[in-house]
Amino acid sequence: MTDHPTDDLPPTDRESPVGAPVIRGDAAVTGERAREAVAFDPGDPESVAEAAAIVREFADDSGDGTDTLYMLRGAAACAALVRGEGSYKRAAERSGTPVTFIRKWARVHDLPRPIRRHVALGELAPTAAKHIARVSGDARYQLAWAALDNDLTVREVRAVASAVTNGAAVEDALREVGVTPGELSVRLPLDTYRKLRQRAALLDREPGALVADALDAYEER
């Protein structure tokens, strides 16, 4: 996947409107800070002006990376500003910030909700999310979950994302940083663990295969 042309609007994997504080405004995720969530409306000139001001502020402060909600707000402002202005270039001119900065953070805002939730919870660094957002489709999820399950560093996430954007399969790129794709360590209640092991032994199958079957059956209900 290549970078989007400067004058194109960013694609979005969001089901909610661009600028809506779906995660930032969820008290179950952000607690009392949900009240502070700012919604941006790309169709409202005043809201777009506010987004431009926040993007300028964000560009000056985003290097810290310790306040994930602040960074998600900045990402939302970038995405709303691009939509409101109609292109990355005009958004950059309006805010006085580089096109590359706005593009990277607008992509973070457009990540699927399950990934953004882990960013808001502080379990996935926003700087890592920037690189995850560079890849698309199922590879995006595979990289995000691998980063969480294997405590990948931002540098390792960046290396995998770069390899994928250069044409490598995400599974191969993950192996290069020491990750076994699809491997997950889980803790089960003792009774469930015993039953899983017994059933796997009786059927001469791996426990993971039975878990996969059970999940498939659950999704088909």
Q: Please give the pLDDT value at position 41.
A: 87
- Cα dihedral across residues 130, 152, 16, 136: positive or negative: positive
Task: Return d(Cα 109, Cα 129) in angstroms, integer.
Answer: 9
Single pTM value for the model: 0.79
Q: With contact defined as beta carbons under 8 Å apart, do 143 and 170 qualify?
A: yes
Q: Give per-residue pLDDT as tens, 24-34.
A: 766 666 677 76
Query: Which pLDDT band holds residue 6 (cuts at 50, 70, 90)?
Result: very low
Q: What is the pLDDT of residues 158-212, one digit of tens each?
A: 999 999 999 999 999 999 999 999 998 889 999 999 999 999 999 999 999 999 9
Indicate the pLDDT class of residue 220, thresholds 50, 70 and 90.
Answer: confident
How do residues 95-152 score in pLDDT, each as one tens digit? 999 999 999 999 888 888 889 889 888 899 989 999 999 998 899 999 999 999 999 9
What are 24's two structure tokens? 């930032």
Residue 95: what pLDDT? 94
Closest CA to 37 of 88, 12, 73: 73
- pLDDT (average), residues 44-73: 83
